[in-house]
Chain A
Amino acid sequence: MKPAAFDYVAPSSLEAAVAALAAADGDGKVMAGGQSLMPLLNFRMARPSLIVDLTRIPGLSFIERRADTIAIGALTRHAELEFSELVAKHLPVMAAAMPHVAHLAIRNRGTIGGSLSHADPAAELPMLAVFYDATIRVQGPDGRRDIAAEDFFVSALANCLEPEEIVFEIEFPVLTSHTGWAFEEVARRFGDFALACIAVSLGLREGRIADARVAVMGVADTPRRLREVEASLRGTEGGPDAATKFASAVRACLSPTDDIHVSAEYRKSLIGSLAEKAFATAWARTAGVRP
């Protein structure tokens, strides 16, 4: 189908974009790469009166190292993250995840700010934001505020932004003490939204797990960090045999539902299998083994 009619502005500053959005009185929609919004417009599931195109705003596309973080501009395209040496070096789980984000033509247009704002529960970037405990920076009519990724995603396709707020930067803490990590995802077709997905990262001290990070997506209405599982790993000896126990712990705190693609039981079984594989890979990496 074709989109319903709308007006279109492409402001050259974030402030002007916020003002345009505020003037639309809740009926405006922000567009960055458009790779989630355009299908909604084409299907007429979204019928905004105004599109505010952010892509003419300078200075919102960058990947830069700060003290212990990597800061990423909201208009940074997925393909730029995929091919970034900074990301590969400091955010290895993101680097591993990026080829799974849709297809090359989508990654060439889609942006991180757009993906986070769209808040698809089976999309990689929202999950990575939760996994890394990223800070999402937004601009509104009254200035700027920081939002923790875990507070940002409210439910499927819903975030905590006010209608006139716009994401302009995301800051990802580097997991400096972590030496082993893994990212596992299964989708119906490579590049499609995940049926289930898990990311694991481990930091060791004196042979024991000192710090763990675990996040999942595709199995709840938002991406979820599994803090209870992380806590249960802390202080344990790890090892390849711990993978099965880890998988049970992951499964135990999730209650996925049936949907058009697969049953809840399948999804629960799948996330367990992925968890087992991910833990084994992450553990092997702590010992310097490259899978």
Chain B
Amino acid sequence: MKMDIAVTVNGRKYQARVEPRLLLSDFLRDTIGLTGTHVGCEHGVCGACTILVNGDSVRSCLTLAVSADGMDIVTVEGLGTPDQLNALQNEFRDKHGLQCGFCTPGMLMTGMDLLKKYPLASDDEIREGLSGNLCRCTGYQNIVAAIRAAVGLRDGSVR
């Protein structure tokens, strides 16, 4: 039996009638057409589908759309625009923190939450924080460098 849900995504309100089994990742991509959130493994291992729910990073493939009813969601489309990237996106561009780009939305959304919650004093700590996000291009070096630079901006020290 389909159910009505109302969610806020990137500041915009959406209402939809969905099947209970619909994954939040598929709701975002197929129901409301925000394809920036990528779907890799669909069992919570690759991190490509990571979004922010009420400010916290969450795997959208491990969340039902119905259980997100009433929640405030931010996807990669909500971070910045092509003309005006947000600070972390900017560092990813500057440091070449992406190759094919498939993992990038998940890396960015995870990065946003890591920057909010952890000191990220060392590259080891950044790598541990990113351990749930896979980059099959294996371009981790520059992803870590981009987050390191964003930590510098956050903490007011230029590196």
Q: Give the residue name and chain of the B residue nearest to A83 (CB).
A: B117
Q: Are A99 and B128 in contact (CB under 8 A)?
A: yes
Given A5-B21, A190-B128, is A109 in contact with B63 using a C-beta cutoff of 8 Å?
Answer: yes
Q: Are B43 and A106 in contact (CB under 8 A)?
A: no
Asked if A10 lies at the interface with its beta carbon under 8 angstroms from chain B, I say yes
The interface residues of chain A lying within 8 Å CB-to-CB of B128 are 99, 190-191
Asked if B4 lies at the interface with its beta carbon under 8 angstroms from chain A, I say no
Q: How many A-B residue pairs have C-beta atoms within 8 angstroms? Tell me.
A: 97
Question: Which stretch in B53-61, B74-82, B91-99, B147-155 binds the other chain?
Answer: B53-61
Question: Which stretch in A34-42, A170-178, A228-236 binds the other chain?
Answer: A34-42
CA distance A34 to B50 in the complex (A): 15
Q: Determine which of B3, B42, B58, B133 lies in contact with A108 in the assembled complex, contact meaning CB atoms within 8 Å.
A: B58
Given A34-B64, A105-B57, is A190 in contact with B50 using a C-beta cutoff of 8 Å?
Answer: no
CA distance A163 to B127 in the complex (A): 40
- CB A118 to nearest CB in B, in angstroms, measures 13
Q: Are B1 and A106 in contact (CB under 8 A)?
A: no
Q: Are B62 and A35 in contact (CB under 8 A)?
A: yes
CA distance A189 to B127 in the complex (A): 11
CA distance A1 to B133 in the complex (A): 19
Q: Are B61 and A103 in contact (CB under 8 A)?
A: no
CA distance A7 to B113 in the complex (A): 32
- CB A105 to nearest CB in B, in angstroms, measures 4
Given A55-B67, A104-B110, is A38 in contact with B44 using a C-beta cutoff of 8 Å?
Answer: yes
User: Can you list 25 A-B pairs with a CB-CB distance of less than 8 A?
Assistant: A1-B42, A2-B26, A6-B21, A8-B20, A8-B66, A10-B67, A34-B63, A34-B64, A38-B61, A39-B44, A42-B23, A42-B43, A51-B20, A99-B128, A103-B47, A104-B110, A105-B50, A105-B113, A105-B132, A106-B62, A108-B56, A109-B58, A109-B59, A109-B63, A191-B132
Which 4 pairs from chain A and chain B are nearest by CB?
Answer: A103-B132, A8-B20, A39-B43, A108-B56
Since A39-B62, A108-B53, A109-B63 are in contact, a sample of 6 more A-B pairs with Cβ atoms closer than 8 Å, ordered by chain A residue number, is A1-B42, A3-B21, A10-B66, A38-B62, A42-B62, A105-B110
